[in-house]
Structure 1
Amino acid sequence: MDLALLRTFVTVHRAGSFTRAAALLGLSQPAVTSQIRALERQLGRPLFLRRARGVTPTTIGDELAHKVAPHLDALVEITGAGPDERSAERTLHMAGPPEFTARRALPALTPLVGQGLALRASFGSAEETLDGLAAGHHDLAISTARPRGGLLSSTPLCDEEHVLVAAPRWAARIGAAGGVQARGLRALEQLPVVEVHESLPLVSRYWAAVFDAKPAVAGTIIAPDLRAALACAAAGAGLAVLPRYLCEDALDTGEVVALLDPPVPPLRTYFLAVRAGTLALPHIARAHEWLLRAAVDW
């Protein structure tokens, strides 16, 4: 069986689209379509179902992808370096949420740079990073959503504790943790809200876990970056729900104050995801193992 056809097939399987696969392969879309049809004729079975937007693999297509993809990835790893290159010199493409990747993941991986690893990072939502990983744009993805299906595999990386914070003047006004403990949500109604999205994802999750309720207020400041939310909260803009790793220094210096210390703080799990079979590639396996070891202290 022609390896070029299998390479095209795996790329389409990961990209979910003939058009995206063509761009990744440097081919025309008709050429990709022709190669997939040729492979389907050889196998005598359809590999994809054509949809209005992209393609969906058949069960035969999924089975073939899971069998051949690891071997093709290994061949790319072997042939991608010339005989004079050190095998350790590879570029790792990773993706994840901007704040966690910047504060945790990238610093944890920098020691590998001295061992010949180059790093390229991109930021995005859980959906964006997992879609990019499946399409072959990334080697590793850090996500707050566990990927489904057999194409991607994931390992829990760490749990992120969420803290309800505000500037000291707001804390003094409501009586800080004692006021919230005594009066519940009524103590927080007078505070403006700083969030990363209009849907108030962090505040909603905290309210559900701690108060068994939904927030009844809208965001006063919406900034799609947790670091911006922290800066606004510290400047007195209102309350914010933030990961402890991000606001820990501000808590220690008194720039912000925890408004409540619940017995069981809300947690969110991060997952470290890869495409099935790619941990056979040494540079991906090394980074994967390094992150898991570093996460023990997170």
Structure 2
Amino acid sequence: MDLELLRTFAAIHRTGTLTGAAKLLGVSQPTVTARLRSLEGHTATRLFEGDARGCRATPAADELAARLHLPLAELESVAESLGGQSGLAGATLRLGAPAEFTEYVLPSALAGLAAGGLTTHVTLGLAADLQQGLTAGTLDLVVSTAKPPKRTVWQPLLDEEFVLVAAPRLAAGLAPRALRDRPAATLGALPLVSYDGQQSIIRLWRRHVLGAPPPAASRVTVPDLRTVRRLVIEGAGISALPRYLCASELAAGELVVLVEPEDSPINTFYLVTLRQLRTRPAVAAAWTAIQGAVRNGA
């Protein structure tokens, strides 16, 4: 089978449209259509369904894309090294990262990459979902707080410090002596606002500082720390947040820190990609740019 058929299929799956695939490959849309029809004829399988937004992959297409991801990545890496293609013009990167990290850290890196000609598609999500996307072949590079899986190359980026915060009017109802002598029980009586159903950040803070898990389910759960911050300001409950995310609100008196331990819990961000993708120009350039943004304080 002609490898161009597989490359074309991968481009359609990546971009979600025939037009996008044609642009990515540098060929005409009729050529992309003809190659797709040829591949579907070879496999006797319908790979895409047309919808209002372009091409919707069938389950068979998703399975084929997962099988092709690593082999095609290796071939492209070899081709680029042999051809001396190190520029970013026309290249595409699929980057996954948490929404908050993207907003506060990545803009300068992404702007620099865009100026160099790189097209970047950013997927926002939770750590587990982003790493699943990396291993499934739908993402090229991820920023994640989860332990990097096997077959990956990774680099620690930064440690975020978590602080337990509340709205001043909620904190004012706490007895200082009770908070000092019985912090677990005193804090356990307050409603919680969490980032996920597992209460991962609150659980990390309580185990690290109090040696005890959260005593109850969260009053509100929302997978966006910026919204968690807003809910805490409005008095919906208490939560543990990265200090950088609530520094302005603490300085303005919209939030207060409930407990200041000597050793605050931290969470490490990792930059992760597959071994076969690390040397690709787009991934290598983004790797360097993101590390630079972190070093320069975004």
Structure-1-length-normalised TM-score: 0.71
Which residue pairs with 1:232 in the alignment?
A: 231
Q: 1:123-202 to 2 correspondence within 5 Å?
A: 123-150=124-151, 152-175=152-175, 180-202=179-201
- Which one of the candidate residues 40, 43, 50 is aligned to 1:31? 43
Per-residue deviation, 1:111 = 2.3
Per-residue deviation, 1:209 = 0.7
Give, as a single letter, the amino acid of the residue that structure 1 aligns with 2:167: A
Per-residue deviation, 1:79 = 11
* Partner Cα distance (1:206, 1:188) in 2: 12
Q: 1:38-187 to 2 correspondence within 5 Å?
A: 71-75=74-78, 77=80, 87-150=88-151, 152-175=152-175, 180-187=179-186
User: After TM superposition, where is structure 1 displaced by more than 6 Å over at least 4 residues in a row?
Assistant: none
* Partner Cα distance (2:277, 2:91) in 1: 14
Does the CA contact (< 8 Å) of 1:208 and 1:214 recur in 2?
yes
Which residue pairs with 2:57 in the alignment?
A: none
Aligned residue for 2:190, secondary structure, equals coil
Does the CA contact (< 8 Å) of 1:70 and 1:280 recur in 2?
no
Q: 1:183-222 to 2 correspondence within 5 Å?
A: 183-222=182-221
Per-residue deviation, 1:281 = 1.8
* Partner Cα distance (2:263, 2:81) in 1: 49
Tell me the alpha carbon deviations over residues 186-214 of structure 1, each in whole angstroms, 9 at most, x when there is no partner. Answer: 32133211112333221111111111111
Aligned residue for 2:213, secondary structure, equals coil
Does the CA contact (< 8 Å) of 1:197 and 1:223 recur in 2?
yes
* Partner Cα distance (1:113, 1:273) in 2: 21
Per-residue deviation, 1:175 = 5.0
Aligned residue for 2:272, secondary structure, equals strand
* Partner Cα distance (1:297, 1:180) in 2: 38
Structure-2-length-normalised TM-score: 0.71
Aligned residue for 1:121, secondary structure, equals strand
Aligned residue for 1:108, secondary structure, equals helix
Does the CA contact (< 8 Å) of 2:197 and 2:221 recur in 1?
yes
Give, as a single letter, the amino acid of the residue that structure 2 aligns with 1:166: A
Which residue pairs with 2:3 in the alignment?
A: 4
Does the CA contact (< 8 Å) of 2:95 and 2:141 recur in 1?
yes
Give, as a single letter, the amino acid of the residue that structure 1 aligns with 2:95: M
Give, as a single letter, the amino acid of the residue that structure 2 aligns with 1:270: F
Aligned residue for 2:216, secondary structure, equals coil
Residue identity over aligned pairs, in percent, reads 32
* Partner Cα distance (1:234, 1:107) in 2: 29
Give, as a single letter, the amino acid of the residue that structure 1 aligns with 2:155: T
The aligned length equals 250
Does the CA contact (< 8 Å) of 2:188 and 2:214 recur in 1?
no
Instruction: Provide closer, same or farther for how the CA distance between residues 107 and 235 of structure 1 changes in structure 2, counting only shifts above 3 A.
Output: farther
Which residue pairs with 2:293 in the alignment?
A: 294
Which residue pairs with 1:51 in the alignment?
A: none
Aligned residue for 2:259, secondary structure, equals coil
* Partner Cα distance (1:87, 1:162) in 2: 37
Which residue pairs with 1:50 in the alignment?
A: none
Give, as a single letter, the amino acid of the residue that structure 2 aligns with 1:243: P
CA RMSD of aligned residues (A): 3.5
Aligned residue for 1:146, secondary structure, equals coil
Tell me the alpha carbon deviations over residues 10-64 of structure 1, each in whole angstroms, 9 at most, x when there is no partner. Answer: x8xxxxxxxxxxxxx954497399xxxxxxxxxxxxxxxxxxxx79x9xxx9xxx
* Partner Cα distance (2:184, 2:250) in 1: 22
Q: Structure 1 regions of 5+ residues with no counterpart?
A: 12-24, 34-53
Does the CA contact (< 8 Å) of 2:109 and 2:286 recur in 1?
no
Does the CA contact (< 8 Å) of 1:73 and 1:278 recur in 2?
no
Give, as a single letter, the amino acid of the residue that structure 2 aligns with 1:121: V
Q: Structure 2 regions of 5+ residues with no counterpart?
A: 11-34, 46-62
Does the CA contact (< 8 Å) of 1:70 and 1:276 recur in 2?
no
* Partner Cα distance (2:124, 2:79) in 1: 26
Does the CA contact (< 8 Å) of 1:88 and 1:283 recur in 2?
no
